[in-house]
């Protein structure tokens, strides 16, 4: 029997009372706890409870639940059963009943606010909390396996460093709370759910979470295989992206007796997959297409009646992504027509492609160069993937604010979203120091 649960591992000393060394140890422990109990997009129940609890221990006010989301923008939610299964799992692992109730239905994540004692602007900082939908490597040379903090949730793994991001977010909160006397203005610290699939930023943004921010930082660890100590004050190459699900429905038939009576949804899906991957490159810049999952058919001797695909397109610009998306939908529809199947396509998430503000990048770079542990500061960095924070950045910029993405690389053992991905935990304290200094000195 499982006696050892998420909650039983909870740390005991409020972070803002810890010195820097002690904080470092706490962040490592916290990150490993989160790594052990990863939660997928919109199901970050235990994770959010833990964060709220630790923020409250530091006397930081925190909002959560329906208040911080606009339900009309919560795309790509798991099914009700899955949401409920994950909520029950979180309860079994010791999460707070009352908080869980407030998050029921996927209203995960939270927003903290640290008010400085001096007047000044409002600064937004965003970290994300969700894991990836893959099973962690169990081989002996994978550190989480060796040191005993591998994922114990099958099919879930923190393979993008969001476990570290959450810990960094709490670390930043603790340092700012400690320095409220010298903090000018307010800091809104956003613990965002559902970054994977580019889903969570839209509903938080629509709920107005970043509306007061005059300056906005998002952050990410890893990405490029560079030595620890290299820090990017701005990034480019965010790929615009659209996520959608496809359901093909044909007609089942006995594969031996009446093959001609079937309308084969799997054949339609296979045709769609090959032709989706074959969508031509675009002169306007990098594009991507992926069919991440495909489920089709019910039994060996039945012509498959249904097929479900999860698709995503990306583009270096919004235009390129729109081209990819339009072509992809055309391909799916035609593949369905070919086999006389119906074709339902459902939007599941997406984001545009933002730009970091050049002057903010330069000012941030100047400050970062002074931070202990920083060896090199890059002003241009090729992000090369989607970043849900872009939705928040765009809103801040539309309202006249400035925004940038901070990246904290380290030597990568394996690429992101790989079963062998692991974080160099030294990056966490470095990131906490950098962001804290940026906030205090900007």
Q: How far is the CB of 202 from a copy of itself (least distance, A)?
A: 16
Question: Which C-beta is closer to a copy of itself: that of 183 or that of 423?
Answer: 423
Pairing of strands 110-115, 62-64: antiparallel
Place of tokens 């190459």: 237
CB nearer to a copy of itself: pick between 53 and 275 = 275
Contact between 26 and 15 under an 8 Å Cβ cutoff? The reply is yes
Which C-beta is closer to a copy of itself: that of 174 or that of 271? 271
Shortest approach of a copy of itself to residue 276 CB, angstroms? 8
Our CB check for a copy of itself shows the closer of 167 and 252 to be 252
Of 312, 264, 319, the residue nearest 286 (C-alpha): 319
Minimal distance, residue 350 CB to a copy of itself, in Å:
11
Q: Which is nearer to a copy of itself, 255 or 365 (CB)?
A: 255
248 contacts 306 by C-beta, under 8 angstroms: yes
Looking at the Cβ atoms of 44 and 133, the one nearer to a copy of itself is 133
Least distance between a copy of itself and beta carbon 283 (Å): 5
Give alpha helix (H) positions in 37-141: 45-57, 80-92, 97-103
Is the Cα torsion angle 268, 271, 277, 283 positive or negative in sign?
A: negative
**Residue 363 structure tokens:** 């000012």
The DSSP H or E segment spanning 332 is: helix 318-338
The residue (of 354 and 396) whose beta carbon lies closer to a copy of itself is 354
Which one, 258 or 344, has the nearer CB to a copy of itself?
258
Grouping H, G, I as helix, E, B as strand and the rest as coil, residue 376 is strand
137 vs 378, beta carbon nearer a copy of itself: 137
What's the min distance (Å) between Cβ of 403 and a copy of itself? 21
Report whether 292 contacts 241 (CB < 8 A).
no
Closest approach of a copy of itself to the CB of residue 50, in Å: 23
Phi, psi of 74 (to 5 degrees): -90, 85
User: Shortest approach of a copy of itself to residue 198 CB, angstroms?
Assistant: 9
With contact defined as beta carbons under 8 Å apart, do 228 and 427 qualify?
Answer: yes
Alpha helices by DSSP H, 179-240: 200-206
**CB-based contact 99:56 (threshold 8 Å):** no
To a copy of itself, the closest distance from the beta carbon of 371 in angstroms equals 27
**In the complex, minimum distance from the CB of residue 408 to a copy of itself, in angstroms, rounded to a whole number:** 16
Rounded to a whole number of angstroms, the minimum distance from the CB of residue 207 to a copy of itself is 24
- Give the C-alpha separation, 411 to 434, whole Å: 19
- 56, 359, 291, 144: which is closest to 48 by C-alpha? 56
Continuous segment of H or E residues that includes residue 347: strand 342-351
Closer to a copy of itself by Cβ: residue 311 or 361: 311
**Where do runs of H (alpha helix) occur along 356-425?**
358-368, 389-398
* Nearer to a copy of itself among residue 282 and residue 355 (C-beta): 282
Please report the sign of the dihedral spanned by the C-alpha atoms of residue 55, residue 388, residue 39, residue 9: negative
Q: What are phi and psi of 282, to 5 degrees?
A: -120, 135
**Nearest alpha carbon to residue 153 among 60, 43, 63, 278:** 43
- Minimum Å gap between C-beta 250 and a copy of itself is 11
Q: How far apart are CA 429 and CA 310, in angstroms?
A: 37
């Amino acid at each position: 029997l499982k006696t050892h649960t998420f909650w039983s591992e909870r740390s005991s000393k409020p972070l803002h009372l810890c010195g820097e060394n002690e904080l470092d140890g706490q962040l490592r422990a916290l990150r490993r706890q989160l790594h052990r109990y990863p939660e997928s997009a919109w199901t970050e129940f235990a994770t959010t409870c833990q964060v709220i609890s630790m923020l409250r221990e530091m006397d930081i006010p925190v909002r959560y639940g329906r208040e911080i989301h606009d339900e009309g923008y919560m795309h790509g939610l798991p099914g009700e059963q899955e949401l409920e299964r994950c909520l029950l799992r979180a309860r079994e692992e010791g999460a707070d009943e009352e908080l869980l109730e407030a998050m029921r239905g996927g209203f995960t994540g939270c927003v903290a606010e640290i008010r400085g004692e001096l007047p000044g602007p409002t600064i937004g900082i965003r970290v994300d909390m969700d894991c990836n939908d893959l099973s962690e490597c169990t081989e002996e040379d994978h550190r989480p396996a060796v040191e005993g903090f591998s994922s114990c949730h099958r099919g879930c793994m923190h393979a993008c460093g969001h476990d570290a991001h959450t810990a960094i977010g709490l670390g930043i909160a603790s340092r700012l709370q400690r320095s409220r006397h010298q903090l000018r203005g307010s800091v809104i610290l956003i613990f965002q759910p559902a970054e994977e699939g580019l889903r969570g930023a839209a509903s938080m943004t629509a709920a107005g979470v970043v509306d007061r921010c005059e300056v906005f930082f998002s952050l990410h660890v890893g990405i490029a295989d560079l030595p620890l100590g290299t820090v990017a004050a701005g990034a480019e190459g965010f790929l615009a992206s659209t996520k959608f699900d496809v359901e093909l429905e044909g007609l089942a038939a006995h594969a031996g007796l009446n093959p001609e009576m079937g309308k084969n949804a799997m054949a339609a899906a296979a045709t769609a997959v090959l032709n989706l991957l074959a969508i031509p490159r675009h002169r306007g810049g990098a594009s991507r297409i992926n069919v991440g999952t495909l489920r089709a058919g019910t039994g060996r001797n039945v012509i498959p009646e249904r097929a479900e695909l999860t698709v995503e397109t990306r583009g270096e610009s919004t235009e390129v992504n729109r081209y990819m998306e339009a072509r992809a939908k055309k391909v799916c529809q035609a593949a369905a027509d070919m086999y006389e199947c119906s074709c339902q396509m459902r939007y599941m998430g997406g984001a545009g492609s933002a730009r970091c503000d050049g002057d903010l990048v330069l000012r941030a770079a100047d400050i970062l160069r002074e931070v202990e542990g920083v060896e090199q500061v890059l002003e241009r960095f090729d992000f090369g993937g989607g970043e849900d924070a872009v939705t928040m950045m765009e809103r801040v910029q539309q309202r006249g604010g400035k925004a940038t993405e901070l990246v904290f690389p380290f030597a990568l053992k394996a690429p992101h979203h790989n079963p062998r991905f692991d974080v160099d935990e030294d990056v966490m304290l470095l990131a906490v120091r950098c962001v804290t200094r940026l906030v205090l000195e900007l």
